Structure 1
Amino acid sequence: MKKWWAAAAGMAVYTMGAGMYFSNRIMYMKKKEEDFIQNREITAKRLDMKHFAELPKSEITINSPSGYGLKCLFIEPNNTDKWIIISHGVTENKINSIKYMNIFLKRGFNAVIYDHRRHGESGGKTSSYGHYEKFDLKAVVDELKSRKGPDITIGIHGESMGAATLLLYAGMLEDACDFYIADCPFSDFEDQLKHQIKKEVKLPSWTILPIGRTFIKIRDGYWTSEVSPISVIKNIKKPVLFIHSLPDTFIPADMTKKLYQEKTGPKQLYLAPYGAHAQSYNENSQEYQEAIDQFLKELVFK
């Protein structure tokens, strides 16, 4: 009997410890400091603070349906009805979105950059890798249409979690924008978690994932299996440009290849030869912009 109780107590301790550790890692992934992001982008010559400061812009706080504020910048140097919304990755903030914004400003667009929940100047306590973020993205799209009119052209560019978010928004909520650019998204969050568990813990995912997903459901209100762009990709009828760097080991390029294969209708794929995760533009800037130009010319403004 004592051995049985000892085993049960040991299992309870393991379950609680593993569940809390796993869910904390997911919900509260350590964010990069704003100064670090800004200095990194300036040093790499991807950010000119003087130029950015001179751009005409409006600072707007949009109410999230989850009950906090989303800090947005509406940037309008061009007299146009073409808009791009930039959706950043986990641990980053809207400063990282400026380099992508500049691509589109040079092509005659205006832009919205904003901080996801729990990032930058926005509210929210946890990251959910697209589950709650897709509703926030809808709020940004709706606000843009409310301010600028329902007939404007809107595209969304997203990186990593931001790319998964835009695919979930378009596939699960409403295919309400005119085009999407998904840079290094995961195809399925649970598959991504299994990939990371194998790399970091060296244990079979079945020893951790069932416990972790249950704790996330209890603590943050969703099942990780619900965060699955691949399950909704066929709902997206508008053009999608998929981008991924082949050397990416954090989110394998095969995930983007699967998304591209499953997407029906207009689509394009650019696989960058250089760069780690979320580095496709940084390491292949000319080719990256050429892929966007081809996409816009052949599938969006044809």
Structure 2
Amino acid sequence: MLSTLLPAAAEAAAPYTMGQIFWSEFLGTAVLLLLGGGVVATNLLPKSKGKGGGWLLINWGWGLAVFAGVYVAFPTGGHLNPAVTIAKVVGHMFNSSVTLNGKLPDDVHAVAVTGTNVAVYIVAQFLGAFVGAVLCWLTFKKHFDEDCDPALKLGVFSTGPEIRSYGWNCLTEAIGTAVLILWVYVSGNTESAIGPLGVALIIVVIGNSLGGPTGYAINPARDLAPRIAHAILPIKGKGGSDWGYSWIPVVGPIIGAIVGTAIYFLTLASASA
């Protein structure tokens, strides 16, 4: 009997394939953008039952969207965000035992930090974000057809600053992302390791505390891929996609990911070990 069970056990413990890694991050990010974009559409678009729900509704909606997306992509660490993936790469430079999904290197399900794996994560995140944004548009299609300020329609897809100052906007995005990345590293080494719910709550906190200036993208895929969807989709009365600002939610989070990781490994990593 034992011998008949061993092959099944070995198969169950097989390393993740490239396809499994891709679909994990793709589906998780698609869920993130469907639900995250959906709460913004609920708040902003004409004739929505939740119109005017306010900033707190959006922040809690995004937090719970992250909660859902992280659970979907839990096998691969639930990055959903190229900034998190880049943070893992930088962390691996400080400590070679860091893997992409947080498992120890000798775990059969550990996803090693390799160029191929990193590329699969980031491509999956961007494609998932694009598809999630399209699904959000399909869900609210009739509301997008209503007349309203084109900026509100763009706001469902991507972020924009309240005061346009590219240097300061980039700094805001970098600080918010650094807080997220530092929290991800610290929380992963606590006794509770509180997981997806903790990630949801830190997203809400960042939105409430640091999101006012720019709308807190803190995720290149979350902003750029839906912005491309906005440009491509036949949205009635949509206006421009604000390409002049589009680099801020990409560059700022990448800087923040690097800085947040460096702060952790240079100051806190030994205490958390």
> What TM-score, normalized by structure 1, do the two folds share?
0.26
- The structure whose residues are more often helix, as a share, is 2
TM-score (ref. length: structure 2): 0.28
Name whichever structure is richer in strand by fraction.
1
Larger relative contact order, structure 1 or 2 (CA cutoff 8 Å, min sep 6): 2
